[in-house]
Structure 1
Amino acid sequence: MFERFTQGARAVVKGAVVHAGRLGADAVDEGHLLLALFDQEGTRGSFALASLGAADRRESVERALEEARRRGGMSRADSDALAGLGIDLTEIVSRVEEAHGVGAMAGVGAGAGVGGAKGRGRWGGGVPFSREAKDTLSASLRMAIGRRHRSIGDEHLLLALASRGGVVAEILADHGVTVASVDRVLHGTPGEGRAAS
């Protein structure tokens, strides 16, 4: 599949590996892919992020990703589901950090990423990709095929991240980046929903 990636999409994948290494993660996760998308310039994905105002809010995105790591990769939907069972995720994080230090649930060095899943397998050598990151790469292929594009660009990676649900999709939506908004900016058409999940 990597041979179908444009130069920009390949740069995102390689950049995600760099971000994972810099953050001390044992696996590349969706958050690392998102950070690498923000590093791009002159690509369709960077154009979409800039047009939607998200490019200027990178620090906010990074804070949201860090907060999600502190929560062990739990999304707001996860937190709400736990709250429905009478479990306060904020209290759990506080107690764990009290006992084990700030960021103890982040999983750095333990293989957990934003999604909290340990990576299995490597793509192109080096740091392995988490199951969620690999699923995002596969979803980007489906995004490209669904739009009848021959190659996979960084815009397809952005669309895949926005469509899959979970922490990264929540963070993107909080910053105005959804499948519909990206499609509108790039193609002048409404999004195709969550078909790439």
Structure 2
Amino acid sequence: MFESLTVGAREVVRGAVEHAERTGSDTVGEPELLLALLDRTGSPAAAALDTLGARRESLAGELAVDRRRGGISAADAAALADLGIDVDEIVARVERSHGAGALADGPRRAGRGKRVRRRFTPEGKAVLERSLRIAGGRGDRHIGEEHLLLALTARPGPAGSVLAGHGVTYDAVVRVLESARPAGRDS
């Protein structure tokens, strides 16, 4: 599948691995893919995000809060609050006892002189697989950054929830991409 990725999409995948390295995560998942996608400019995906009013700082901030909560999204935290569970209070208590970021995915320990290889989570792999199906369904021969964005919005997940909270839904992205796509164009 990697050979089907455009240069930009490959850079998103590499960037996702770099985001995982910077945060100390041993896995690459939806949040890292979204962060890497947000780093890119000049692509159909970047244009769609801009058109829909999504701002990198706001999206990245929400992803950081979710990571601090151990992956619990704002929507999940709100649902738990309806049950009387204050997720932020629980996180604060855990961090008082175990240190800041205790619930965040932490680094694996590599053996001496060994480099840790970041692996994709099942959800991260599913985004890549979904982007292939989306590209095929749109009649495109290559997987571009726009297909990765569509794949992130196509199913519920950490990135999809954050995006949806900013009005970036699958249908909204399709509308923006279709309005910018010349007739008969193949990505």
TM-score by length of 2: 0.84
1:3-152 counterparts in 2 under 5 A?
A: 3-54=3-54, 57-83=55-81, 85-109=83-107, 126-152=117-143
Q: Which amino acid in 1 is paired with 2:68?
A: R
Structure 2: gaps spanning 5 or more residues = 110-115, 181-187
RMSD in angstroms over aligned alpha carbons?
2.1
Bigger Cα displacement from structure 2, 74-83 vs 8-17: 74-83
Q: Quick one: distance in 1 between partners of 2:108 and 2:58?
A: 25
How far 1:176 sits from its partner (Å)? 2.2
Give a deviation string over 1:58-107, Cα, whole Å, max 9, x none.
11111101100111001234334544554332222121111112211112
SS of residue matched to 1:144: helix
Task: Tell which has more relative contact order, 1 or 2 (C-alpha 8 A, sep 6+).
Answer: 2
Q: In 2 relative to 1, CA 183–82 (structure 1 residues): closer, same or farther, beyond 3 Å?
A: same
Confirm or deny: 8 A CA contact 2:15 2:36 kept in the other structure: yes
Aligned pair in 2 of structure 1 residues 92, 110: CA closer, same or farther (>3 Å)?
A: farther
Does the CA contact (< 8 Å) of 1:144 and 1:150 recur in 2?
Answer: yes
State the alpha-carbon separation in 2 of the partners of residues 15 and 107 from structure 1: 18
Helix, strand or coil at the partner of 2:146: helix
- Structure exhibiting the larger radius of gyration computed from Cα positions: 2
Q: Indicate whether 1:174 and 2:165 are aligned.
A: yes
Provide the rounded CA distance (Å) in 2 between the counterparts of 1:77 and 1:69: 14
Once the two structures are TM-superposed, the CA of residue 142 in structure 1 deviates from its matched residue by 1.5
Find the aligned partners of 1:17 and 1:87 in 2 and give their Cα distance: 34
User: 1 CA distance for matches of 2:71 and 2:39?
Assistant: 22
The one-letter code of the counterpart of 1:11 is: E
Shift of 1:110: 5.3
Task: Determine the C-alpha separation between the residues in 2 that align with 1:186 and 1:158.
Answer: 11
Count residues in correspondence. Answer: 174
C-alpha distance in 1 between matches for 2:49 and 2:74: 23
Q: Percent identity?
A: 54
Distance 1:41 1:76, change over 3 A: closer
Scaled by the length of structure 1, the TM-score of the pair is 0.80
| Contact residue 76 and residue 167 of structure 1 kept, 8 A | no
